[in-house]
Amino acid sequence: MSAGRGAGQGRGAGRTGSAPGAGPAPTGDEAGSPATWFPAAPTLDGPLDAAFDAVPDDWRVVTEPFRHTAVGQALQARVDARRTAGARIYPPQPLRALALTPLASVRVVILGQDPYHGPGQAEGLAFSVPDGVRPPPSLANIFQELKRDLGQPLPASGSLVRWARQGVLLLNTSLTVEEGQAASHARWGWEVLADALVDAVVRQPAPVAFLLWGQHAQARAARVPAGGPHRVWQANHPSPLAARRPPVPFIGCGHFGEVRGFLAAAGRPIDWTL
């Protein structure tokens, strides 16, 4: 049983864990940690408008209204201005999570905060890094918990694309960042889109597991109504700053096994193997 599990058991589609004081979510997910560095790493190389044009039809019910709002227009103008001024912006495909995980297929939502800001690290999926890049500390702790909880061997790659393709929406709440500048595009408007995307998932009838690790992600917990088909699990952020601290340490939370059981019972199995 994971720490704090009883907090939501009596509510049917309840919450696991504890939001208050759940440990800090480090800005940029310690992206500057040692990794394989790519001096000419791919960056966003065109107008942000093109990224919205490439969004699959199922998600456009969310992204199209957003891009035409004042917030969406200001976001696009601001990101494009920084790019044309010479800023190196990651990832090259900010909305890649939507391309890999169709709306109707979402069975797990994992919310991150900010793309990695080191060259070659961000690949448009929360916590994930491309093949050949050393997993940053938070991702390494995710793999450690997978091993502890499910007995899985540590993955050879830090890419979570396999999860995305079977219905795990790996969504950062800020979808672009400038090289070497953590949270440089935070509060530019991406968070409004992220909330709308979460709301679109909540409206889906099939059960979905929401994994909210750290205070930043847990701020969205209220968007998932209790008593419905979905469930929320909460724990500290997997960063070394919080992963083993109270009130709900990430290491030992048991979320992967519990979510596997929840989804299997709902007829929506998940395979966490990487």
Active site residues: 114
Q: How many CB atoms lie within 10 A of CB 197?
A: 24
CA 143 – CA 69 distance, rounded (Å): 39
CA 101 – CA 98 distance, rounded (Å): 5
Token pair, residue 169, equals 């929406």
CA 181 – CA 88 distance, rounded (Å): 10
- Which amino acid makes up residue 13? A
State how far the alpha carbon of 266 is from the alpha carbons of 41, 208, 214, in Å: 41, 9, 26
DSSP state of 35: -
Per the CB < 8 A criterion, the answer to whether 260 and 270 are in contact is yes
